[in-house]
Structure 1
């Protein structure tokens, strides 16, 4: 380090002082502090020196082999770090208290204390997705990793995982009120936050459903919201938590209330196409957990056909243009790709490469998007039984995506291309 020849006297004296960073492990600092202040005597130091090699061998054996020098050296680092973690956590970084802990307890017990801390950390859920539960096979590799991490890393990960554990607890509590088993959540790969939002949504729309054990499917939610729209119900301005929520889960549930209120406003807005809002790949559905009900889906489909045929005329079949263009690819991603190409005046495709996707975005930003062209294409060529659903799907996509696709602020098109990869059919 090269210091300036003439110090800047305009700066405070504290900024001119050379600050030394003590990078020693906290265990070493506590040990030295204990000796300097007479807390640790020669007998205690001898006991530590006797126990340390035993601890190194035990740790090396646990993670690999006690017969290899590199493994023993790594075991020494792990042991020092485990003790440092434990002392920092239990004393709040107080060197005197840490030295007293080394004096009053065995050296190996402090190492085990650090190991137990990490085991409790690793036992906490790493993801709020119920489908990721139950994977404990990686505990030893994870313990090997965390035994060399800092106390700051430990505290940050503990806070993160504790939040996840609370979210899972809140989701399980809500699910239990609807007689929904945790096994069902795991089988469906439900996210805890999505379960919480759905429970709060149902609390606002149909409080009695909780007592009837009726967790909603997409079809059931559509019926419920449709009934609310017919009553011209206004969106609420605040949400009430279900009765009996445990005190330690209230804050976590309340943190989701603002998002649910915003979604409720969209659901109860009669101008918003409801079926498009609830489409399986839409943004709304990704935020909520709805049960699959194939029989209800089939029943809804047949009822829509019956409604179309009430006038005595069969629904319009798909045109030759539709058949040729789609080639049987009528999933939502393929159809949105097709509709977007039509609205942009580009060649009709149900699959885009990364290059053609970028070209499509540039075209939209240069010439604009004409959603009515896609709507007219649907009315002219799509099968009559599906036209209403396809138009709702397209209108919902335009509402959610037009701003991003046409944004001049997204210079590198990162947001626009990410949107197309998520909503349309883009090959890598």
Structure 2
């Protein structure tokens, strides 16, 4: 019985290519002589670059490096075909094939490793990268290709985010300054497109986008689609991120969760979406919100009596009013004597809703009122409520 035995050839690809070239007449003696002349020079240069050309271990390592880098170049250009590799070696100098690999590895090293803006280096290869080149100069083809594929994917996500942000009027420098994730930019851009927004949102507008998506009429027709003019090289990266937004929709569309709680307080969502930090816009929005709440609670009244009436109601846990009837005032006093006052509730209401420029004055007024009135309001001796009602008529708004 005839058996065929496959032998594993662990020689560097360069050596295999040379052997093939000699055996099949692709490489002549002149070419072999040129390689033998160039190789020692290249070894010395590499040893000097990474350490010292005067140490034998460094020269041995340099030999491994130059052979490995030439092998990388030949494998990439030939696709593993020995004949093509031999022809390539015949048409180019040995030193140039080493340099070609060095250039490829340097380009790899400076490619982004992380999709977080602000965490990647800018500029080309420099001396600080030499230790990394020392490592990668000994890598095999599979390791190089795996790392290249990974970094290319990262680069595509970053470039896609920059492209989509630019479409919404935001420059790459703004993303760097924000220090956000590229995926977060893409996610928000997709939500903006789904709600027909033409600019990258700030926090206020982002909340409006979510509110729009949560409308019953919108939830059935949410179109999370990549822009039609998105460059082809970015489509795969954007599609992967788009799928993550689809997975998020269950929580995004849950009206029971406020935007603040979901996007700023839920660990899995913090930093997952992007919005432009615009402090002035947020303050203005906050001012409008607090102004509306204050106006509604006070009914537009700003006199001390109306405000003290409101604060007293809030401190007892009652419905806020700026005018009490005699009967309501009496009920309020009895409630105070039974359950006490939580004066901090009124203070918190003032801090949360009153115009900022008046908050200190309102708190002082409230605390002064409590200091003077609390004993009378809580006194069990005034069982007919005469003193307490008289106090409220004088300080608050109590109708006849």
Match of 1:272 among 249, 257, 260: 257
Instruction: Specify the alignment match of 2:391 in structure 1.
Output: none
2:203 is the alignment partner of 1:202 = no
80-89 or 160-169, larger mean C-alpha shift: 160-169
Q: How does 1:371-386 map to 2 (within 5 A)?
A: none
Instruction: Specify the alignment match of 2:160 in structure 1.
Output: 170
Task: Find the residue that maps to 2:34 and give its secondary structure.
Answer: helix
Question: Retained in 2: the 8 A contact 1:195–1:289?
Answer: yes
Structure 2 Cα separation of the partners of residues 383 and 27 of structure 1? 77
2:293 is the alignment partner of 1:311 = no
Instruction: Specify the alignment match of 1:247 in structure 2.
Output: 232
Q: Identify if the C-alpha distance between structure 1 residues 306 and 62 changes in structure 2 by more than 3 Å, giving closer, same or farther.
A: same
Structure 1: unaligned runs, 5 residues or longer: 1-8, 318-378, 388-428
Measured after TM superposition, the shift of residue 145 of structure 1 is 1.5
Instruction: Specify the alignment match of 2:69 in structure 1.
Output: 82
Measured after TM superposition, the shift of residue 133 of structure 1 is 3.2
Instruction: Specify the alignment match of 2:13 in structure 1.
Output: 26
2:146 is the alignment partner of 1:156 = yes
Q: Identify if the C-alpha distance between structure 1 residues 386 and 170 changes in structure 2 by more than 3 Å, giving closer, same or farther.
A: farther
Structure 2: unaligned runs, 5 residues or longer: 299-309, 316-343, 353-400
Instruction: Specify the alignment match of 1:179 in structure 2.
Output: 169
Q: Identify if the C-alpha distance between structure 1 residues 229 and 113 changes in structure 2 by more than 3 Å, giving closer, same or farther.
A: closer
Task: Find the residue that maps to 1:148 and give its secondary structure.
Answer: coil
How big is each residue's C-alpha offset from its partner over 1:399-421, in whole Å with a ceiling of 9 and x where there is no partner?
xxxxxxxxxxxxxxxxxxxxxxx
Match of 2:83 among 96, 99, 108: 96
Structure 2 Cα separation of the partners of residues 220 and 187 of structure 1? 20
Q: How does 1:386-405 map to 2 (within 5 A)?
A: none
TM-score of the aligned structures, taking structure 1 as reference length: 0.64
How big is each residue's C-alpha offset from its partner over 1:14-47, in whole Å with a ceiling of 9 and x where there is no partner?
8xx7654322211112122222333323322222
Q: How many residues align?
A: 308
Match of 1:62 among 21, 37, 49: 49
Measured after TM superposition, the shift of residue 283 of structure 1 is 2.1
Q: How does 1:279-358 map to 2 (within 5 A)?
A: 279=264, 282-306=267-291, 309=294, 310-312=296-298, 313-314=310-311
Question: Retained in 2: the 8 A contact 1:316–1:383?
Answer: no
Instruction: Specify the alignment match of 1:48 in structure 2.
Output: 35
Match of 1:147 among 137, 151, 155: 137
TM-score of the aligned structures, taking structure 2 as reference length: 0.68
Task: Find the residue that maps to 2:260 and give its secondary structure.
Answer: helix
Question: Retained in 2: the 8 A contact 1:235–1:264?
Answer: no
How big is each residue's C-alpha offset from its partner over 1:273-320, in whole Å with a ceiling of 9 and x where there is no partner?
333112256422321122212233334444554455433435979xxx
Question: Retained in 1: the 8 A contact 2:191–2:209?
Answer: no
CA RMSD of aligned residues (A): 3.1
Task: Find the residue that maps to 2:218 and give its secondary structure.
Answer: coil
How big is each residue's C-alpha offset from its partner over 1:200-259, in whole Å with a ceiling of 9 and x where there is no partner?
111112x2x32xxx2112222113323554564215354232242222222322222222
Task: Find the residue that maps to 2:115 and give its secondary structure.
Answer: coil
Match of 2:210 among 225, 234, 259: 225
Task: Find the residue that maps to 1:233 and give its secondary structure.
Answer: helix
Question: Retained in 2: the 8 A contact 1:236–1:261?
Answer: no
Question: Retained in 2: the 8 A contact 1:201–1:264?
Answer: no
Which entry has the higher C-alpha Rg, 1 or 2? 2
Structure 1 Cα separation of the partners of residues 61 and 81 of structure 2? 27
